[in-house]
């Protein structure tokens, strides 16, 4: 479904290393593998939501994420994060305020992007489909068609 969603989107590439890895798969390992593939100079950016960001201290070797990539953190409308001290202390030396900073180094920075977003969540989409409602306009058409063709998320 990710492949269908990003088809035709310049700069987006589907990476399947986590699917191909045997055993547990951790984001820090995936970023390290991507860094090896891309080399030491190419900027790499991991995009994640604020809800995932505030839970980074629960991730395996989370402090090492920025050794391999930048983090771009987006926020859903109406979500007020609570950043605990451990994460806040780590963030203090990494936060930048300009996307241009991400272009000039391979990783190491965290950028928060406050933008107008549609209030859409995967949980809501699955629940809507389970109730027999269409996810059309909440997902790319190709993804909607795939879900319908495969009968996904139906009770």
pLDDT, tens digit (0-9, with 9 covering 90-100), for 91-149: 999 999 999 999 999 999 999 987 666 778 888 999 999 999 999 999 999 999 999 99
pLDDT of residue 61: 97
Mean pLDDT of 36-60: 94
79 and 138 co-located in one domain: no
What pLDDT band is residue 11 in, cutting at 50, 70 and 90?
A: confident
SS3 for 53-84 is HCCHHHCCCHHHHHHHCEEEEECCCCCCCCCC
Q: Which domain holds residue 34?
A: 2-116
Q: What is the CATH number of the domain that holds 108?
A: 3.40.50.620
Instruction: Report which secondary-structure segment, H or E, holds 95.
Output: strand 95-96
pTM score, whole prediction: 0.78
Q: Do 103 and 129 have their domain in common?
A: no
**Residue 16 token pair:** 């399947």
């Amino acid at each position: 479904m990710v492949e269908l969603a990003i088809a035709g989107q310049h700069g987006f590439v589907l990476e399947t290393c986590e699917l191909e890895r045997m055993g547990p798969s951790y984001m820090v390992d995936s970023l390290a593998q991507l860094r090896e593939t891309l080399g030491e100079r190419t900027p790499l950016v991991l995009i994640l939501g604020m809800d995932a960001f505030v839970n980074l201290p629960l991730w395996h070797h989370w402090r090492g994420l920025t050794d391999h990539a930048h983090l771009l953190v987006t926020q859903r409308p109406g979500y007020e994060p609570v950043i605990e001290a451990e994460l806040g202390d780590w963030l203090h030396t990494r936060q930048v305020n300009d996307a241009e900073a991400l272009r000039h180094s391979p990783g190491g920075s965290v950028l928060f992007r406050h933008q107008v977003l549609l209030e859409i969540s995967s949980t809501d989409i699955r629940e809507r489909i389970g109730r027999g409602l269409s996810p059309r306009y909440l997902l790319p058409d190709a993804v909607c068609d795939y879900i319908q063709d495969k009968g996904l998320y139906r009770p």
